[in-house]
Amino acid sequence: MKVEMKKMKIVYVLIAVLTSNWVFAQNFEGVITMNTVNEDVAEKASLTWYLKGDKSRMDIKSQTNDYASEYAIISDEKGIDMVAEGHITNIPQSVMKTGASSQSLLSEKEGVSMNGYTCTRAIYFNGKNQTTYWLTNDVNISFDDIPAILRRNMPSIESTGFPIKMETRGADGKVVVSQEVVSVRATKVDDSKFERK
């Protein structure tokens, strides 16, 4: 039970990080790969995110201290479920509320290069943490492509574009959460990817 609770905490934090403030071209179908680090729970994760219509599947490989895990988060019209080690655990929408405070734009700089993309670097502050986004319009994905079940709990930012990289720094200036896109590939995704098994 303790391991399951630890996984669930990591899942909630990861989903909040992945979905908060993502400003995503309409009807994107494809695969996004990324890496995340969450210092609060000492987690490093690699993620493969499949998107098709209003369906999403995130295959996550996570390492927290000495604990490694692999699991999937599947969301569609049925809800959000975590699938791990042959078990399916529903994730209630009530725990998906991030409680994110509003963010104020501190600065924006266009024409910044990040991972081969031309980006706008936007820095936001929420009263506690400072988050820097490297946003590009060079990929065919937008906020509308995120499944509605995830999108409804996301805070928003003024800046537009797809986040190639994101870093959140605490009051001490240290990075507490980061995520970086490795690849974005428009491709057909088979419906079997969204089966809960």
Give one word for 53, left, alpha or beta, with left for phi > 0 and alpha for psi -120 to 50.
left
Whether this prediction's pTM lies above 0.75 is answered by yes
Out of 3.30.160, 3.40.50, 2.50.20, 1.10.3470, select the CATH number for domain 2-189: 2.50.20
Phi and psi angles of residue 85, each rounded to the nearest 5 degrees, phi first: 50, 40
Element (H, E) at 145: none
Spatial contact of 11 and 82, defined as CB atoms under 8 Å apart: yes
pLDDT per position as a tens digit, 57-101 = 999 999 998 899 999 999 888 888 999 988 999 988 766 555 555
Taken as a whole, the chain contains a residue count of: 197
| CB-CB neighbours of 54 under 10 Å | 15
pLDDT of residue 191: 94
